[in-house]
């Protein structure tokens, strides 16, 4: 072997040793599989490459996991109630809407095969209209449905709903996702539920709490309300997304309640008229009108409106901070703030805000606290404003 070959061989040996040493210190990371993910989360991720099922196949796959819920309310002016739900796990937990079991003295769950069980309330969350009840049933009666990923939903995607409209057990309807990320105003509760899925699948009284399914038979929402002037379905239904279910339900099962993060402001979105009055170019952002006392917003130094002006008989509040972004996410309107809080934030988290104040863009950070009860929010509400 000549000298040059010896040198090359020596260098190769050094490289091999260094590579081996690097591998020992930094072993290659295993790419997580669907099975790995399923071990750490209750969401069972479906095979996105699999073919869609027919509506008949979806019904046959999920019908045994959908239940009818009867509620007895002897001291409630609404009287007895009827709704839907679906099996969450083999321990007997069933998911439904909070408004379905509200003020219930007795809850009865009936499976599609006719078997009925008394149920106990495990936990509920007023702010997302979710509730968990539990039945003491044998495992052969329990067919948990798979939670899908609602963040994958697209407008125009076909979906199906199963429930008990007007008490008609095991009824199925189908339609499309009409829109995503809607705000659902609560009824007399002083807040809105964010990140709602809108659908044109027929939803009627009795459907509340039942599953909204994608074409792989996975639960992507919980049917909860309709938009109607008459009380009957008019082509616009709303469902709480499975992403919210996955965040809230495990805590309800463990702790019976869920603590939502809260900022403590109310105000209005920037529209063209208000933008012209405020002399700003972009019709985006959220104008803070009120900052609630002792709220995270007040502690962080956010400012509400200080003046008002009347144009063409309409009074506009002016002079408050305008929220332009939260944690780097552009705020077009209040929806963006509420959805970010619902999806990504918990009590105790910090949130960075970019605001427009006195014509200058500035930044501040606040620490999120637990949202007060509904009566506190209602007492602090203002006309045409949204609290968060």
Q: Is 259 a catalytic residue?
A: no
User: One of 84, 150, 178, 208 is an active-site residue; which one?
Assistant: 208
Domain boundary among 204, 239, 258: 258
Count Cβ atoms below 10 Å from residue 205 Cβ, excluding itself. 17
* Residue 129 annotated as catalytic: yes
Whether pLDDT at 25 is above 70: no
- Mean pLDDT score, 13-23: 38
> What is the pLDDT of the chain when averaged over all its residues?
84
Give yes or no: residues 271 and 341 share one domain: yes
Is 267 part of a structural domain of the chain? yes
Q: What is the largest CA-CA distance in the chain?
A: 101
Residues sharing a CB contact under 8 Å with residue 153, sequence separation 6 or more, in sequence order: 177, 180, 197, 214, 220, 241
Q: Which of 229, 258, 287 is the last residue of a domain?
A: 258
Give the model's pLDDT for residue 118: 97
171 and 272 housed in the same domain: no
176 & 38 share domain: yes
The domain boundary residue, chosen from 237, 258, 279: 258
Same domain? For 73 and 179 the reply is: yes
Pick 352 or 51 by higher pLDDT.
Answer: 352
What range defines the domain where residue 62 resides? Answer: 31-258
Which one is catalytic: 93, 98, 125, 129? Answer: 129
**Cβ atoms < 10 Å from Cβ of 146:** 21
User: Same domain for 180 and 50?
Assistant: yes
Q: Can you tell me the distance from the alpha carbon of 204 to that of 131, in angstroms, rounded to the nearest whole number?
A: 19
CATH number for the domain that contains residue 289: 2.30.42.10
Q: Are residues 341 and 235 in the same domain?
A: no
Concatenating the DSSP letter of every residue in 187-200 gives SSSS-EEEEEEEE-
- The radius of gyration of the chain from alpha carbons, rounded to an integer in Å, stands at 26
Residue 120 domain-assigned? yes
Torsion of CA 166, 172, 175, 177, to 10 degrees: 80
List pLDDT tens digits, range 341-377: 999 999 999 999 999 999 999 999 999 999 987 665 5
* Residue 316 belongs to a domain: yes
Q: What is the pTM of this model?
A: 0.80
pLDDT of residue 36: 43
- Do 147 and 231 sit in the same domain of this protein? yes
Pick the catalytic residue from 93, 98, 99, 150.
Answer: 99
208 is catalytic: yes
Are residue 242 and residue 267 in the same domain, yes or no? no
């Amino acid at each position: 072997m000549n000298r040059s070959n010896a040198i090359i061989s020596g260098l190769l040996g050094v490289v091999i040793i260094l590579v081996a040493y690097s591998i020992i210190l930094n072993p290659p990371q295993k790419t997580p599989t669907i099975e790995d993910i399923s071990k750490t989360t209750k969401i069972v991720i479906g095979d996105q490459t699999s073919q869609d099922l027919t509506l008949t196949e979806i019904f046959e796959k999920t019908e045994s996991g959908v239940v009818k819920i009867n509620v007895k309310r002897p001291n409630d002016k609404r009287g007895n109630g009827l709704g839907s739900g679906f099996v969450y796990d083999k321990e007997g937990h069933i998911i439904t809407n909070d408004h379905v079991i509200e003020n219930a003295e007795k809850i009865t769950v009936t499976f599609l095969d006719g078997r009925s069980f008394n149920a106990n309330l495990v936990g509920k969350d007023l702010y997302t209209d979710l509730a968990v009840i539990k039945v003491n049933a044998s495992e052969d009666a329990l067919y948990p449905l798979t939670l899908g990923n609602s963040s994958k939903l697209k407008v125009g995607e076909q979906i199906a709903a199963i429930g008990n409209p007007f008490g008609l057990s095991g009824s199925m309807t189908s339609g499309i996702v009409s829109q995503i990320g809607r705000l659902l105003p609560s009824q007399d509760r002083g807040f809105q539920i964010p990140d709602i899925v809108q659908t044109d699948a027929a939803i009627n009284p009795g459907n509340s709490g039942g599953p909204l399914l994608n074409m792989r038979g996975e639960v992507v929402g919980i049917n909860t309300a309709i938009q109607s002037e008459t009380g009957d379905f008019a082509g616009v239904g709303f469902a709480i997304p499975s992403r919210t279910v996955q965040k809230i339900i495990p805590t309800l099962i463990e702790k019976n309640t869920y603590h939502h993060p809260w900022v403590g402001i109310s105000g209005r979105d920037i529209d063209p008229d208000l933008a012209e009055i405020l002399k700003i170019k972009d019709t985006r952002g959220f104008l803070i009108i009120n900052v609630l006392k002792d709220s995270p917003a007040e502690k962080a130094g956010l400012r509400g409106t200080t003046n008002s002006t009347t144009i063409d008989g309409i009074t506009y509040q002016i002079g408050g901070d305008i929220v332009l972004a939260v944690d780097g996410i552009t705020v077009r309107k209040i929806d963006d703030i509420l959805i970010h809080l619902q999806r990504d934030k918990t009590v105790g988290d910090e949130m960075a805000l970019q605001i427009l104040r006195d014509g200058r863009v500035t930044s501040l950070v606040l620490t999120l606290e637990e949202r007060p009860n509904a009566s506190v929010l209602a007492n602090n509400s203002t006309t045409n404003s949204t609290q968060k």
